[in-house]
């Protein structure tokens, strides 16, 4: 973590000079102050990665300063410095949140080991907090389109080059980004995802670059941004075409210089991040319309990878259904269901406008709503302008398939209510007269 910013607090000028020299020689940014009061002020103005804090200070002592820093929300690891550390002091310091002690006189090796251990521990905690708990990224399919996609990932992943992933919504662009990270030399470091379309424009810069308390209305605490959390790893900018031009300019600067400034801060933060971006828009069209910077596209689009929609690889639908059913069963403890051949035929004939994400949603709905062990064609309710395969054989239009499903569904509800039309109407949320008219209309259309 060579870009770390360390605050050293000691009332002895010789100690400040000694520690500052040692740490700067190792590539760290260092700020030095001489009192507990100054330390509290400094941590309110800036985010530090580590604080080396003397116990014996004039005015507020180190342990009280630590307590007040923690109360104000400064969560960086703190190592206490003491010339005469005793058990009671150590216990008090640990109780307030210190993670280690350095005894005076300070030895070079001991200082560097303690500092690096503290930073490594902090980075591990941040990584675990930043990474979402998800299924292992898997690119399911045996189609030629998926085989080509896997080939491109295998070639691009080991490099540090930026990748721009294009493709329709729900096609699996984030899965591709995670596989690029998982198969890179950065795999042991964070993968941090940002959906640029889901974050309000006024908050995207804070989300990416972090902010200090009071930087804007609602900034009630210091916060690290996604670039900083992804240091050493991969930052995935999803829907990058939805960023404002102002934010694009700031992202471009980070890509050029590997440095940025938090909102409300003055200290430059250096990062080592591989950026993988994704979009469902044609960025050339966005450039022509004045909504996207051409120089940013050049920076992002070093390796282009296109993810095909599911309509281009329908032979993968059965494998996706099986995979999502297995995942849901594993997550909930229920038994997977069997999909009848006719039902699977319908699913393969469907156009899947929502792509892989839609398959996942449909599978989850079927697992919840179908009581039987086997999923029959009548259980499917796929809403698209596609042509369906009817379970009685042959193809049918969407309108006919809907009417057939609705007719069978109404009859099942009426039968379950013992033929009592009033009770069936209540179950269906219909007026009794409406239910009669609906049944009569559907019966006429079936002739």
pLDDT tens digit at each of 447 positions of the chain:
557 889 999 999 999 999 999 999 998 989 999 999 999 999 888 889 899 999 888 889 888 999 888 887 777 899 988 876 556 776 777 777 888 888 888 888 889 999 988 888 877 766 665 554 455 788 999 999 999 999 999 999 999 999 999 999 999 999 999 999 999 999 988 999 999 988 888 789 999 999 888 778 777 778 889 999 999 999 999 999 999 999 999 999 999 999 999 988 888 889 999 999 999 999 999 999 999 999 999 999 999 999 999 999 999 999 999 999 998 888 888 889 999 999 999 898 888 989 999 999 999 889 888 888 999 888 887 754 333 334 444 444 556 666 777 777 777 778 777 778 887 777 777 787 778 787 877 776 655
What CATH number labels 144-308?
3.40.50.300
Q: Hey, is 334 helix, strand or coil?
A: coil
5-129 and 397-447 have identical folds = no
The domain spans of the chain are: 5-129, 144-308, 311-380, 397-447
Cβ proximity of 206 and 223 under 8 Å: yes
Give the count of beta carbons closer than 10 Å to the beta carbon of residue 150: 14
pTM of the predicted protein model? 0.68
pLDDT of the residue at 215: 79
φ, ψ dihedrals at 34, nearest 5°: -110, 10
Report CA Rg, the chain.
30
With residue 224 as reference, give the H or E element that holds it: strand 223-224
Closest listed residue to residue 2, CA positions, set 188, 258, 187 = 258
Beta partners for residue 163, in sequence order: 276, 303
Peptide bond into 340 cis (omega under 30): no
pLDDT of the residue at 33: 94
Tokens of 394: 């042959």
Task: Say yes or no: domain 397-447 is CATH 1.10.1510.
Answer: no
What CATH number labels 5-129?
3.40.50.2300
With residue 191 as reference, give the H or E element that holds it: strand 191-195
pLDDT of the residue at 395: 43
Cβ proximity of 180 and 295 under 8 Å: no
CATH architecture classification, 311-380: Orthogonal Bundle (1.10)
pLDDT of the residue at 94: 77
């Amino acid at each position: 973590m060579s870009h770390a910013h360390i605050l050293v607090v000691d009332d002895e000028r010789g100690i400040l000079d000694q520690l500052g020299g040692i740490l700067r020689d190792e590539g760290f940014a260092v700020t030095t102050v001489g009192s507990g009061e100054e330390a509290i002020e400094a941590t309110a103005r800036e985010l530090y990665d580590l604080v080396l804090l003397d116990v014996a200070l004039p005015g507020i002592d180190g342990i009280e300063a630590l307590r007040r820093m923690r109360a104000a929300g400064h969560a960086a690891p703190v190592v206490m410095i003491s010339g005469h550390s005793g058990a009671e002091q150590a216990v008090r310091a640990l109780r307030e949140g210190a993670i280690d002690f350095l005894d005076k006189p300070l030895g070079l090796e001991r200082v560097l080991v303690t500092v690096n251990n503290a930073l490594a521990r902090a980075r591990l905690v941040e990584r675990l907090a930043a990474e979402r708990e998800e299924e292992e990224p898997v690119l399911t399919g045996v189609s030629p389109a998926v085989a080509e996609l896997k080939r491109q990932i295998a070639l691009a992943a080991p490099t540090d080059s930026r990748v721009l992933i294009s493709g329709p919504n729900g096609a699996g662009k984030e899965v591709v980004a995670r596989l690029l990270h998982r198969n890179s030399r950065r795999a042991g470091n964070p993968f941090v995802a940002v959906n640029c379309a889901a974050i309000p424009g006024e908050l995207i810069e804070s989300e990416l670059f972090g902010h200090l308390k009071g930087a804007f209305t609602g900034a009630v605490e210091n916060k690290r941004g996604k670039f900083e959390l992804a240091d050493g790893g991969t930052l995935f900018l999803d829907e990058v075409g939805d960023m404002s031009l102002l934010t694009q300019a700031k992202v471009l600067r980070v890509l050029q210089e590997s440095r940025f400034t938090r909102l409300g801060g003055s200290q430059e933060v250096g990062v080592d991040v591989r950026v993988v971006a994704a979009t469902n828009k044609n960025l050339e069209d966005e450039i022509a319309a004045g909504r996207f910077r051409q120089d940013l596209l050049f920076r992002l689009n070093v390796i282009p990878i296109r993810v095909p929609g599911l309509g281009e690889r329908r032979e993968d639908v059965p494998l996706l259904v099986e995979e999502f059913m297995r995942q849901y069963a594993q997550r909930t403890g229920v038994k997977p269901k069997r999909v009848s051949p006719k039902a699977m035929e319908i699913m393969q004939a469907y156009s899947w406008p929502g792509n892989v994400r839609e398959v996942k949603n449909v599978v989850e709905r079927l697992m919840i709503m179908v009581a039987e062990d086997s999923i029959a064609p009548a259980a499917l309710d796929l809403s698209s302008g596609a042509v369906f395969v009817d379970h009685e054989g042959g193809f049918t239009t969407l309108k006919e398939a809907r009417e057939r499903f609705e007719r069978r569904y109404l009859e099942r509800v009426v039968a379950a209510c013992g033929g009592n039309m009033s009770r069936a109407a209540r179950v269906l949320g219909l007026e009794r007269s409406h239910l009669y008219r609906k049944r009569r209309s559907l019966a006429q259309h079936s002739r």
